[in-house]
Structure 1
């Protein structure tokens, strides 16, 4: 058995990835990657960004305001 045959791995290295992108339409692949990342970013902004901003504003305001506790965000109903 030669050395190249014994070096089979399931992971692609940079040269294999470059060959694959050159063989296929790489613009379509980059469009797919950009679309998936954009969808993830929109989901983050829609659902989680306001919660993070509320948490940080609550922490900052409560450090500055010593007369009580201010809570920005969802009400905890139990």
Structure 2
């Protein structure tokens, strides 16, 4: 059974956040500190088990040195690749 569109988008978001975090050489703890979030919350987002609010997405994008638009664009590309 394939995941729902919503779940697939959440998973694509998590993958992109993790990939970018690793590109920047950040640990989950580092990223959490940059956005004033708890490390377990970062784990849940990266694993696709938590759907962050728009304000959390904005903080994550800034901490990952992205604009919110760039983050969304990367997630869309990842989502399309996963759906193919």
| Higher relative contact order (Cα pairs below 8 Å, separated by 6+ residues) | 2
TM-score (norm 2): 0.28
- Provide the TM-score with structure 1 as the length reference: 0.29
